[in-house]
Amino acid sequence: MVEIRKTSSFEKMLLIVGLLVLIIGYMLISKTYTVEGGQLSWDFLQATFLWLLIVIFIIVLAIGEDIKEGILIEQLNELKSIKKSLLKGKKKG
């Protein structure tokens, strides 16, 4: 059975920030492209690569947060099972 977990406030905030970075970054890059007259320039390339780095960073941060939550849930379930087995051992002995 798959356990569905609720999203944390950090994950919701990360989603909002990620969407804002995508939209605002794209708008600024397209504005830079039109200001440069539709030609590739260093400003355009720098803006594009920095924007892509920020997007990749946000994706990695979201993946790390998901992995952390999964590990915490796993540890909590393991501690519960250890507690149950210890309580069963006390009742028998």
Write the DSSP assignment of 13-69 as a string of letters. Answer: HHHHHHHHHHHHHHHHHHHHHHHTTS---HHHHHHHHHHHHHHHHHHHHHHHHHHHH
User: Are 47 and 32 within 8 A, CB to CB?
Assistant: yes
Residue range 16-51, pLDDT digits in tens: 999 999 999 999 888 888 888 888 888 888 889 999
The pTM of the full predicted model, rounded to 2 decimals, is 0.74
Q: Phi, psi (5° rounding) for residue 3? A: -95, 120
- How far apart CA 56 and CA 74 sit, in angstroms, is 27
* Residue bearing tokens 């979201």: 62
How confident is the model over 68-93, as pLDDT tens digits? 888 888 899 999 999 999 888 887 75
